[in-house]
Amino acid sequence: MVSYAYTNRKVFKTDHCVDGYFAQKASNERKAIGLQIFRMAVTNLSPLTITELFSPNLIRCVINQRSSSNNNLFSAVLDSLQALTVRSRREPDVVLPLLCSFINSGLVNFDRITKTKIFEELSLNCPIKDASMFLDRVRVEIRKPTIREYTDAETNRRAAADILLQYARRQTNVTSAEKDSPVFPWKDLLRTLTISAYLKTVDEDMSKSTKEVFRNRIMSVLTHILENGLDPDCEYASDIVVYIDKMCTREEYRLSLEADEAIFKVLNRSTLLLKDIRKDIDLRPENQRANQRPYLLLFALSILQVHNGDADAVSVLEELDESWNAAANGENTSTTLTELVLSFISRQSLLFRKLAEQVFTAICPTLDSVGLEALIEVLSKKENLSGQQELFDNAEDEDGLDQLSDNIDEEDSEDEDTKESDDDDDDSEASDVEIIDMEDADTSDDSSNISDTDSDVTTPSIPSNGEDAELEDFEKKLAQALKASQSKASKATTGSKNGDDDSDSSDDESMDDEEMFALDTHLTTIFRERSKQKTVKQDARNAKDTMIAFKTRVLDLFLILIKTRQDSPIFMLDIILPLIILIRETKGKGLAEKAFNVLKVWNENCNKRKTWPCRNKTKEIDKVFSVLSKVHAELKNSKNASKLHANAASRAGLFLVKSAVGAAGQVSFVRAVDMYANLQKDWWAGNGNIPASVFTEWTSWCLNSRKTA
């Protein structure tokens, strides 16, 4: 029968598949036979012939049978459809005709309708050489969706946006592994999304929510590009801006953005400046483009954020404009760019975090001590509401906020201590660690309504000691209010009985309307205060999590700096003490471990390159020993510090000694010996909380250094 179809395709399609097997009144047995024939045809027919199998009756049968798992052919339909994906993996040339057949039938949303991933798998198997034609067909479908009884325009458009995102994420290489193979058309894909995201026509019927979906998909695609290093020239984001500007010159298109004249003025000026930067980059040789590309990327993404409706992005564009003009005059703008990088990593968007890392990598070679201080300042902020508000310039009553946050930290600490004592009583080493894991601390009580993804049942949390007190106070107020109302009601009842012994209604109506209203008002006030307390506590917990996450991202920037600045300039020593203090003070175990890792990576890199942040200069050597003195003071004066803190301080001290000895040899070694001797005297006298391991590591290093000298 299949071979017969090669020469009589129309007859095969009409007589056997459509009318004979998939007719609306056909039995399930007959449809099952038709599905078997369909699977055989998909496996053996030529690509063009396969497309003719997608008849309305076949599509209707597939959709109806996959609508419920109770249908007899629910699984049989899936088996037949999977033959399409098997064939597409074996013969990539068949993918484009199949995709076009689905789109022509209005089945962009096929996967959701049929509870499968057939269309998604086919699109992911589309070869790069056919990508442009596939994108052209999707672009037409988005502009004029194919409407059928089983779908609608908005659903098809959103499904098309999702398919484009999935297709983009499949591409992970800058260039294809095969020689002379085509390059993936990133610009075509982004432009396809751009038209629907940021532009509109006079007669357009696309909803605002659908446009929002397209904008989100563009940001996701750009995130994927940055994350995988697929845009080394930083041109794709700027191409979107230029394309928007170009399309607006046509009569049929205009911007979707609705904003006032001042915003459009900033937007137009920034777009012109972006074009100038692109021209400037093109005119420069490759080795002189590194300083311009961060600006190109920053301008492009900030402009897109304005189009996305982000009002804060307007001020960012103004700062970028000033910074670019200063850079054009030969000034060092690394500090300004560092502050912009900090503003980007404070956002929840993965795209802007990747942007921040890429920009920071580019400015690291010119970063100075002022720019570094901006990063260090973040680490010194408290991990509570006052620290968050101070950092983001919206400080209020800091004393009250500090007190509230300290109370919450104490509650979290008590919960954590109880957990550790129950789970790990025999572990003496764990009892020395005071650092609390952010994830563990945040799961206590009402910090968030975390629901199990596999269950709709919410497990009640166990209140902490502080919450017990709050609950007891709440219940006390509630009981007093009810008791007072009952007392009034009792008096009213007694008076009624004394005045009229024959009254039968006094037992039923013990309170009048005024008393009921007063009680209701009192109860409302009590419950409102209770709700306000819970909201404030939740805000405090969220602030702590936000600050820990922000500091973690700053540490990522420190790692980039350490790996990029191989010369390790002397001002980089300023990060040592803040990192050690952070390890001691933070409530996030992961943050403390990451801070320790920064020091560890820096030490390893310097050992490997034999390059230390100190030259044979008196001022630099004095600075090294000044930092070492502060590290020893931190060791001596720290109370209840963890073993991780002691380890970090000890390693940092040895790192500083290595740097000084490497620069000045015997003179620096004698100076270091004196400092460690004084520290050991304090340890012997019991002054401070100095761990003995510091001197063990110091002695071990001295012996090893003497052998290799």
pLDDT at 486: 52
Contact status, residue 438 vs residue 409, Cβ threshold 8 Å:
no
Please state which of the ranges 9-13, 42-46, 124-128, 313-317 shows the lowest mean pLDDT. Answer: 9-13
3-state secondary structure of 200: strand
pLDDT for residue 601:
93
Predicted local distance difference test score (pLDDT) of residue 50: 80
Which residue has better confidence, 418 or 216? 216
Contacting residues for 461 by C-beta, under 8 A, at least 6 apart: 443, 444, 445, 446
All structural domains of the chain with their residue ranges: 1-170, 192-366, 399-417+436-446+467-489+511-561, 565-708
Which residues, at least 6 apart from 653, have a Cβ–Cβ distance to it below 8 Å? Answer: 628, 631, 632, 635, 694, 698
Return the DSSP state at 359. Answer: H
DSSP structure class, residue 199: E
Residue 46, helix vs strand vs coil: coil
Q: How far apart are CA 504 and CA 497, in angstroms?
A: 9
Is pLDDT of 161 > 80? yes
The predicted pLDDT at position 75 comes to 92
- Name the nearest CA neighbour of 600 among 614, 620, 622, 579: 579
3-state secondary structure 621-683: HHHHHHHHHHHHHHHHHCCCCCHHHHHHHHHHHHHHHHHHHHHHCHHHHHHHHHHHHHHHHHH
Over the stretch 518-544, which tens digit does the pLDDT of each residue have?
666 766 776 666 666 666 677 788 888
Average pLDDT, integer, range 168-173: 86
Tokens at residue 97, please? 């005709």
For 553, the token pair is 């991202």
Asked if residue 465 has pLDDT above 80, the reply is: no
Find where tokens 């720019």 sit. Answer: 371
**pLDDT at 278 (0 to 100):** 92
Please give the Cα distance from 374 to 395 (Å, whole number).
19
- Strand, coil or helix: 183: coil
Which whole number is the average pLDDT over 656-669? 86
Q: Is the pLDDT of residue 15 over 70?
A: no
Report which listed range, 56-65, 460-469, 636-645, is most confident: 56-65
State both tokens at 610: 């034999």
pLDDT tops 80 at residue 398: no
pLDDT (tens digit per residue) in 87-105:
999 999 999 999 998 888 8
pTM: 0.73
Average pLDDT (445-455) is 36
> Given this model, what pLDDT does residue 649 score?
93
Q: Is 587 exposed, middle or buried (0-12, 13-18, 19+ CB in 10 A)?
A: buried
Q: What is the DSSP code (8-state) at residue 254?
A: E
Residue 519 host element (H or E): helix 513-564
Residue range 568-586: mean pLDDT, rounded: 90
DSSP state of 182: P
Note the pLDDT of residue 523. 66
**Alpha carbons 421 and 424: distance in angstroms, whole number:** 5
Other C-beta atoms closer than 10 Å to the C-beta of 289 total: 16
Provide the pLDDT for residue 487.
54
Token pair listed for 117: 């991933």
Range in 480-484, 559-563, 583-587 the model is least confident about: 480-484
Task: Please state, in angstroms and rounded to a whole number, the distance separating the CA atoms of residues 655 and 606.
Answer: 9
DSSP structural state of residue 41 = H
**CA pair distance 18, 250, nearest whole angstrom:** 46
**Residue 303: Cβ within 10 Å count:** 27
* pLDDT band, residue 614 (cuts 50/70/90): confident
515 touches 489 (CB < 8 A): yes
The confidence score (pLDDT) of residue 174 equals 60
Q: At what angle do helices 643-664 and 666-685 cross, to 10 degrees?
A: 150
The beta-carbon contacts of 88-95 under 8 Å, at least 24 apart in sequence, are 88/121, 88/122, 88/125, 89/125, 91/47, 92/125, 92/126, 92/127, 92/130, 93/47, 93/127, 94/47, 94/50, 95/122, 95/123, 95/125, 95/126, 95/127, 95/130
Q: How confident is the model at residue 393 (pLDDT cuts 50, 70, 90)?
A: low
Residue 452: pLDDT over 70 = no
pLDDT of 53 > 60? The answer is yes
Predicted confidence at residue 164, as pLDDT, reads 94
Name the pLDDT band for 438 (thresholds 50, 70, 90). very low
What residue has token string 């009624």?
496
Identify which of 475-484, 517-526, 599-608 has the greatest average pLDDT: 599-608
Does an H or E element contain 502, and which? Answer: none
What pLDDT score does 165 carry? 94
- Please indicate whether residue 529 or residue 669 has the higher confidence score (pLDDT): 669
pLDDT tier for residue 289 given thresholds of 50, 70 and 90? confident
Contact 92, 133 (CB under 8 A): no
- What is the percentage of the chain residues whose pLDDT exceeds 90? 37
pLDDT for 1 beyond 50: no
In this prediction, residue 577 carries a pLDDT of 94
Residue corresponding to tokens 């509230």: 404
Strand partners, 201: 253
What does the alpha-carbon distance between residue 173 and residue 184 come to, in Å, rounded to a whole number? 9
**Using one digit for the tens of pLDDT, what is the confidence trace for 209-263?**
999 999 999 999 999 998 888 988 889 999 999 999 999 998 889 999 988 999 9
Q: Report residue 37 as tokens.
A: 């024939």
pLDDT of res. 399: 47
Tokens of 165: 């995102």
pLDDT, mean over the chain: 79
pLDDT of 397 strictly over 60: no
